[in-house]
Structure 1
Amino acid sequence: MRWRILALLFFARIGMGFQFQTLASVGDGLIVAFGLDYASVGLLIGLFMAPGLILALPAGYLGRLISDRDMAVLGLMALAMGGLVSALAGGSAGIGAGRVIAGIGFLVINLYFTKMVADWFEGREIATAMSILVMSWPFGIAMGQVGHAWVADLYGWRVPFQIASVYCLLAASAVFFFYRARSDLPAVKSGGAGRLTRQEWLLVLCASGAWGVFNAAYVTYLSFGPKVLQDLGQTAIAAAGVISVGSWLMIGSGALCGQIVDRFGRRNLVLTVCMSAAVIALWLLSQPGAGLAASLLFGLVGMAPAGVIMALAGLALRPEVRAFGMGVFFTIYYAIMLATPPAAGAILDATGQAQGPIWLAMILFACVVPLAIGFKYFKAGSGMFAQKARTSI
């Protein structure tokens, strides 16, 4: 049953990446249509993350009142509505409003889909399950990288938003009719729903920081990697196709990486190898003729541990505080994600070099490893704390 649930959530969550990628794919068209600069495009990309900074904790609390399924359906509907608002916009303000509405849905989907998978796979193959779930994000983005650029070239920048919205509405219907919650989990008690232990706070801080910088680096690569290849002489559509190769490949490599960690452990060793490969791949991107090799390395190794990192959230929290803890997790995640795209765009405006934002992405990828080491340290500390408490008694 749990694998059927995972498949349903995977295909529904594709809409999240598919809708997100619309702005990055039509960014050049918006610059022409509305006279924007790259910092402004980066801000519009980042607005997708803005609601999470304010609403992640309230969304976590709502899990006490509304079922996971209904919250997920509402999130998918908001994602669809935001895309339609952006499609109908007459300027950057209207597009920004649509991005914020879609961002509310993005927050809810992120939080509750992660919780749903953590609930179903607690104690068994969670790294594999999370790896499969999070691969829906690059799957949707890869669809958008190829499809949105082609559709926008033929029909204009508004149509990709509309197509992504239709997908999200279909996904909402599927989740509403086919999702079933696991029945044997501990009940959430209203009095203690928001009480994380000191250790859980520390673990969530490390896990959310690692997930935030990892995704911020990935989004920077998606948004500005094609510009690097265009500066080397490739067309916009060809550059988008090369960059999308990494997103397609990480779907398979991510599931394999999750299996490796579930079976053999050594999570931090795996993360160190993969983040080193990600940094090397981003450096290769600016070398003439190395774009495809960089994308292959990035997808096969650099992005493979996405689910392993996301699984840290499930490992950090008890089931009875998971909804609220996920709210904390995503508040920190969204703060990082909101700040990064405008910063990357400002670097491009200031330097005039598309490789500038890519250097920022390299630094962010490198930050994953120390945060994962911190998570292991605080997780191991729980045994010492418990032993000290028993000794003192």
Structure 2
Amino acid sequence: MRWRILALLFAARVGLGFQFQTMGAVGGNLTDAFGLDNAQIGLMIGLFMAPGLFLALPAGFSGRFASDRVLAGFGLGALALGSALSAMASEPPGIGFGRVVSGVGFLFAMLYFTKMVADWFEGREIATAMSILVMSWPFGIAMGQVGHTWLAEVHGWRVPFGVAAIWCALAALAVLTLYRPPHDLPSRTASRIKGLLPREWGLIVLAGFAWGVFNAGYVVYLSFGPTMLEAQGMNTLAAASVISVGSWLMILSGTFCGQIADRLGRRETILAVCMAGAVLALMLLSLPGAELAASLLFGLVGMAPAGVIMALAGQAVAPERRAFGMGVFFTVYYAIMTASPPVAGWLLDRTGTPESAILCGAALFALVFPVAVLFRMLKTGATPEPIKETA
């Protein structure tokens, strides 16, 4: 049953990446239509993450009053609505408003999808399950990198937003009708503790920081990697296709990496090797002729430990406080994700060279390993209320 539930959540969560990538795919079209610069395109990308800064904690708290199924379905519905609003907008502020509405939906869907999988797989193959779940994000993004770019070139910038809206609406219907919670899930009222324990605060903040910088580095790669390749003479569709190779490959490498972590442990070693690979891959993008090798390295090694990092959130907080803990986790995540694309875009505008934005992404990836080490030290060094851990 749990693997069927995971398949349902994977298919629905593909819509999050598919919708997110609309802006990255149509950025050039919006520049031509409205004269937006790179910093403004980066701001449009970041608006998708902005609601999480203010709503992540309330979203986690709302889990005390509504079911995970309803809240995840609401999130997917808001994603569909926001994408439709962007498609119908006549000016950049309208597009930005649609991105904000989509961002609200993204927050709820991301938070409760993560909680659902943690509930179903706690203590058994959680790194593998989280790896499979988070691979739905690059799967949707890779679909959008090629599909949205083609749609925008052939039919105009509005069509990618419309297609993404349809996917998210169908996903909302599927989750609302088919999802079932595990039978042994603790009651929402089982715990008398209203907030998190002190150690849980430290653990969930570190987990959110690691997940935030990891994903911010990925977004910088997706958003400015094509710009790097276009500066070397590659056309728009070819550049998007090369960059998308990394996203397609990480779907397989991420699942494999999660299985290794569940069976063998050695999480810090895995993260050290993979983050070194991510930094090297970004450096290779600046070398003409090395773009495909860079994308291969990025997908096979650099992005492989996504599930290992996400699994930290499931290990940080006790099940009865997990919804609120996820709110804290995503508050930290969104703070990093909201700031990073505009900063990278500003660096590109300031220097005039895409290498500066790519260096920003490399620095973000380099932060993951030391933060994960701090998480492990705090988790193993404290004694109250031990948290169940896999592998």
**What CA distance in whole angstroms lies between the structure 2 residues aligned with 1:298 and 1:217?**
11
Partner of residue 24, structure 1: 24
Task: In structure 1, list runs of 5 or more residues that go unmatched.
Answer: 388-393
- Residue 133 of structure 2 corresponds to residue 154 of structure 1: no
Q: Give the superposition deviation at 1:192.
A: 3.6
Q: Counterpart of 1:337 in structure 2: which amino acid?
A: M
Q: Counterpart of 2:59 in structure 1: which amino acid?
A: A
Task: In structure 2, list runs of 5 or more residues that go unmatched.
Answer: 387-391
SS at match of 1:341: helix
Q: Counterpart of 2:379 in structure 1: which amino acid?
A: K
**What CA distance in whole angstroms lies between the structure 2 residues aligned with 1:343 and 1:236?**
23
**What CA distance in whole angstroms lies between the structure 1 residues aligned with 2:192 and 2:50?**
28
- Residue 8 of structure 2 corresponds to residue 8 of structure 1: yes
Partner of residue 184, structure 1: 184
| 1:194-235 superposed Cα distances (whole Å, 9 cap, x missing partner) | 421111011011100000000000000000000001111110
Partner of residue 101, structure 1: 101
**What CA distance in whole angstroms lies between the structure 1 residues aligned with 2:153 and 2:195?**
51
**What CA distance in whole angstroms lies between the structure 2 residues aligned with 1:386 and 1:162?**
48
| 1:39-86 superposed Cα distances (whole Å, 9 cap, x missing partner) | 000000000001000000000111011100000110000000000000
| 1:280-334 superposed Cα distances (whole Å, 9 cap, x missing partner) | 0000011010000000000000000001000000000100000000000000100
- Residue 80 of structure 2 corresponds to residue 80 of structure 1: yes
TM-score normalised to structure 2 length: 0.97
SS at match of 1:63: helix
Partner of residue 196, structure 1: 196
8 A Cα contact 1:344 1:360, kept in partner: yes
Q: Give the superposition deviation at 1:133.
A: 0.1
Q: Give the superposition deviation at 1:386.
A: 7.3
Partner of residue 344, structure 2: 344
Name which of structure 1's ranges 61-70 and 189-198 shifts more when overlaid on structure 2. Answer: 189-198
**What CA distance in whole angstroms lies between the structure 1 residues aligned with 2:307 and 2:295?**
19
| 1:93-113 superposed Cα distances (whole Å, 9 cap, x missing partner) | 001100000000000011000
Q: Counterpart of 1:56 in structure 2: which amino acid?
A: A
Q: Counterpart of 2:177 in structure 1: which amino acid?
A: F
Q: Give the superposition deviation at 1:193.
A: 5.7
Partner of residue 374, structure 1: 374
SS at match of 1:49: coil
Flag the 1:185–1:294 CA change in 2: closer, same or farther, 3 A: same
| 1:150-204 superposed Cα distances (whole Å, 9 cap, x missing partner) | 0000000000000000000111111111100112111122874642111101101
| 1:241-275 superposed Cα distances (whole Å, 9 cap, x missing partner) | 00000000000000000000000000010000000
- Residue 284 of structure 2 corresponds to residue 288 of structure 1: no
Q: Counterpart of 2:340 in structure 1: which amino acid?
A: T
Flag the 1:193–1:245 CA change in 2: closer, same or farther, 3 A: farther
Q: Counterpart of 2:247 in structure 1: which amino acid?
A: S
8 A Cα contact 1:17 1:139, kept in partner: yes
Partner of residue 239, structure 2: 239
SS at match of 1:328: helix
**What CA distance in whole angstroms lies between the structure 1 residues aligned with 2:128 and 2:300?**
16
Q: Counterpart of 2:96 in structure 1: which amino acid?
A: G
Q: Counterpart of 1:116 in structure 2: which amino acid?
A: M
8 A Cα contact 1:80 1:165, kept in partner: yes
Name which of structure 1's ranges 182-191 and 298-307 shifts more when overlaid on structure 2. Answer: 182-191
**What CA distance in whole angstroms lies between the structure 1 residues aligned with 2:194 and 2:289?**
52
SS at match of 1:26: helix
SS at match of 1:186: coil
Flag the 1:193–1:3 CA change in 2: closer, same or farther, 3 A: farther
Matches within 5 A, 1:1-393: 1-189=1-189, 192=192, 194-383=194-383
TM-score normalised to structure 1 length: 0.97
Q: Counterpart of 1:30 in structure 2: which amino acid?
A: L
Flag the 1:82–1:209 CA change in 2: closer, same or farther, 3 A: same
Q: Counterpart of 1:156 in structure 2: which amino acid?
A: G
The Cα RMSD (Å) is: 1.1
**What CA distance in whole angstroms lies between the structure 2 residues aligned with 1:36 and 1:234?**
22
8 A Cα contact 2:253 2:299, kept in partner: yes
Partner of residue 391, structure 1: none
8 A Cα contact 1:43 1:341, kept in partner: yes
Q: Give the superposition deviation at 1:344.
A: 0.6
Flag the 1:57–1:294 CA change in 2: closer, same or farther, 3 A: same
**What CA distance in whole angstroms lies between the structure 2 residues aligned with 1:81 and 1:193?**
36
Flag the 1:193–1:30 CA change in 2: closer, same or farther, 3 A: farther
Q: Could you list the structure 1 runs, at least 4 aligned residues long, displaced by more than 3 angstroms after superposition.
A: 190-194
Calculate percent identity across the aligned residue pairs: 64
**What CA distance in whole angstroms lies between the structure 2 residues aligned with 1:280 and 1:97?**
37
SS at match of 2:160: helix
Partner of residue 389, structure 2: none
8 A Cα contact 1:194 1:324, kept in partner: no
**What CA distance in whole angstroms lies between the structure 2 residues aligned with 1:367 and 1:176?**
38
SS at match of 2:196: coil
**What CA distance in whole angstroms lies between the structure 2 residues aligned with 1:192 and 1:73?**
28
Q: Counterpart of 1:270 in structure 2: which amino acid?
A: I
**What CA distance in whole angstroms lies between the structure 2 residues aligned with 1:321 and 1:216?**
27
8 A Cα contact 1:193 1:320, kept in partner: no
**What CA distance in whole angstroms lies between the structure 2 residues aligned with 1:193 and 1:199?**
14
